[in-house]
Amino acid sequence: MRFATYEYRSRRQVAVVEEDGTLYPLPGVTSLAGLLAAGGGLPELLEAGAAMLDVPTGPHVSEVRLLPPLQPPTVRDFVTFEEHVEGVRRSIDGNAGVPEQWYAAPTFYFTNPYAVYGAHDDIPVPPGSHVLDFELEVAAVIGKEGRDLTPEQAREHIVGYTVFNDWSARDLQSAEMKVNLGPCKGKDTATTLGPYLVTADEFEKYRDEDGFLRLALTAEINGEVVGEDLLSNMSWTFEEMVAYASRGTWVRPGDVLGSGTCGNGGCLAELWGVRGRQDPPPLKPGDTVTLTVEGIGSVSNTVVTGSEPLPLPVARRRDRARP
């Protein structure tokens, strides 16, 4: 089952999406994250959706503005594709290979839940950046809370999946990473989620014997394919990622966990690292990035000019006075 959040005639609504694009609005529901928080996970969401298929239809999806399927309370972005790590590490800091520590656990960082865009929204260039990149990912969405979960338990906590584009200002990111703290403004301006939340039960037919989802992933810039991969090339399953995220803390309804960027052209920086040059060039205003995930759909965003950075002083080198 597919769920969309959309804007139609200045009103926000959550609906079930049929195969032909017909929307079946859930009466009084304006927040999918709120609906998940009020329910008990996948069974309750499916029940709520099934009840709407016998009521009058709403507009067609082509008539509305698709919003992000949900406004997540938290967004954890993992890095689970070895090929991506190899290419981007060479591009960002000039080092070859994969750090040995990467193999120990599915590393993630928290990104900005206030900078989430819909499937067809324009994406502003981050202030001060001249090297904008996309990142093709899939995100799992949590449907019920839990902590200290095993991977087997974690499967029951995943309610569905959506396409995830982790827009990245590579010049800002490269400078920030020299502080050895992780990305901040290099990853702070935009994340695309969409076009729908597709419930977890729809993906069992794609699951391989090791528990990975074998979904085809495609990235295009201005209609030209620049990357193709399989989601099953991840080195950890989503269940393992959720289990790790829940270690010593909570995962709660609406939390989003990104797979990390796929390989074989899942972002420009990987290609730059492999080719030794910025080919294709960084994204610029007017470029349209389309990411497609089998079983979910496509998001297609056009880059637009962003705001100029407001001036700030550099650090003041202070005398180390003591009280």
Residues 179-202, mean pLDDT to the nearest whole number? 95
Backbone angles phi, psi at 311, to 5 degrees: -70, 140
**Both 176 and 27 in a single domain?**
no
Instruction: Report H helices in 170-281.
Output: 170-176, 238-245, 268-275
User: How does pLDDT run across 17-72, given as a tens digit for each residue?
Assistant: 999 999 999 999 999 999 999 988 999 999 999 988 777 899 999 999 999 999 99
Task: Please report whether residue 221 resides in a domain.
Answer: yes
Residue 322 lies in a domain: no
Tally Cβ neighbours within 10 Å of residue 209: 5
Kindly report the average pLDDT of the chain as a whole number: 95
Instruction: Evaluate whether 271 touches 158 at the Cβ level (below 8 Å).
Output: no
For residues 97 and 217, membership in a common domain is answered with yes
Residues 111 and 216 reside in one and the same domain = yes
In this structure, the answer to whether residues 107 and 240 fall within a common structural domain is: yes
Residue 56 sits in the same domain as residue 138? no
CA distance 80 to 259: 6
Q: Which helix (H) or strand (E) holds 193?
A: strand 191-199
In a domain, 265, yes or no: yes
Identify each DSSP E strand in the chain by its residue range. 2-8, 11-17, 23-25, 65-67, 75-78, 108-111, 116-117, 123-124, 132-133, 136-142, 146-147, 158-166, 168-169, 191-199, 216-221, 224-230, 250-251, 256-258, 288-293, 297-304
pLDDT digits (tens, 9 = 90+) for 125-146: 999 999 999 999 999 999 999 9
Distance CA 2, CA 18 (A): 7
110 in the same domain as 56: no
Asked if residue 321 belongs to a domain, the reply is no
> Residue 94's pLDDT is what?
67
95 and 52 together in one domain: no
pLDDT score of 187? 96
* Containing structural domain, residue 58: 2-67
**Considering the domain boundaries, does residue 27 fall inside one?**
yes
**Average of per-residue pLDDT across 81-86:** 94
pLDDT tens-place string over residues 205-228: 999 999 999 999 999 999 999 999
Residue 250 lies in a domain: yes
Tally of domains within the chain: 2
Residues 154, 236, single domain; the answer is yes
Q: What is the pLDDT of residues 142-177, one digit of tens each?
A: 999 999 999 999 999 999 999 999 999 999 998 998
Q: Given this model, what pLDDT does residue 39 score?
A: 84
pLDDT of residue 89: 80
* pLDDT classification of 202: cutoffs 50, 70, 90: very high
- Residue 239 in any domain: the answer is yes
Instruction: Answer yes or no: do 49 and 79 share one domain.
Output: no
pLDDT value, residue 233: 98
The average pLDDT across 88-115 equals: 88
pLDDT range class, residue 252, cuts 50, 70, 90: very high
Give which of 115, 165, 157 is closest to 139, Cα–Cα: 165
Same domain, 164 and 230: yes
Please report the pLDDT score of residue 40 as a whole number: 81
Residue 319 falls within a domain, yes or no?
Answer: no
Q: How far, in whole angstroms, is CA 110 from its chain's centroid?
A: 12
- The three-state secondary structure class of 109 is strand
In this prediction, what percent of the chain has a pLDDT beyond 70? 99
